[in-house]
Structure 1
């Protein structure tokens, strides 16, 4: 069951949405509290009434990113419970929101700051299409490797990336 996340105050939710847009436009390192305040039409000190600091803002964004990825993955396995359907949904989310994807899957993750049960819920579709928790983690790691290499443009020219995704899903279907 999707975790119950307390809603943000309306103005805070608006600020987080602007921050998400800036993240996708510029990347995490370029997103500053000063720029965010400017984009939402307030002075930077007033922004801290909505997010204590950039770490808290990051947690708000990560929560939304985990929910979006989780929703996409759950929808995929509801339609067809297979690694192939999960691969398509996972890849689409990573390609559509590459900076959100990087933020959610790179570097340290402060699990204690995330809403309880969110990470487990978002990862459960991997368990639903595999035969064990270890295989589910291996599948996630495989999809993550493909996704990060693809969004960072790291595959050699001429690589059939579609076929790599298909083949990876096939390996976990056996």
Structure 2
């Protein structure tokens, strides 16, 4: 049985409907056009407003990126907690890795924003980063194994997203081997 939760899910920030709309547009822009397109000017164009109007809701691009990073942490945290809650001791690692991979492949630009760039920890909801990574600890029961599992999953998924594996590689077998390494103790 996976370990119980250490802490409850931190409360989500209370966002106005307009801020929610802006962040939804930013998320679509990020996923559709990539991180380089995520500018206040381009976001204003997408929303049909002038960029200066955005500053009433967010102080700049960094605040948009931080809010999207929080979105990613909420989404991956919820997904990984659900998987760990439903898994048994024999399949928890493989199911955790499968969900982590699924999220990154379905939301590659959001994943890269939160996982491949410096994280503005000071701007995050307190406890969010720890909570979103907690499923790795719950799956391994050891903080250092949890960090190693996350690091291995992160590196593997980035290599996959960037198409760095040898063409024709059986990535399902690669992910299965990764899970085996962390369960064969």
Per the normalisation by structure 2, the TM-score is 0.91
RMSD: 0.9
Asked if 1:133 is matched to 2:143, the reply is yes
Distance 1:167 1:8 in 2: 42
Tell me what 2:70 maps to: 63
Q: What is the Cα deviation at residue 109 of structure 1?
A: 1.4
Aligned residues: 174
Tell me what 1:29 maps to: 36
Q: What is the Cα deviation at residue 38 of structure 1?
A: 1.2
Whose relative contact order is higher, 1 or 2, with alpha carbons under 8 Å and at least 6 apart? 2
Distance 1:12 1:6 in 2: 11
Tell me what 1:142 maps to: 152
Report matched runs for 1:19-168 at 5 Å: 19-81=26-88, 82-168=92-178
List per-residue Cα deviations over 1:119-160 (Å, max 9, x = no partner): 000000000111310000000000001110111111110111
Q: What is the Cα deviation at residue 6 of structure 1?
A: 2.0
SS at the partner of 2:57?
A: coil
SS at the partner of 2:169?
A: coil
Once structures 1 and 2 are overlaid, which stretch shifts more, 115-124 or 25-34?
25-34
Aligned structure 1 segments of 4 or more residues deviating by more than 3 angstroms: none
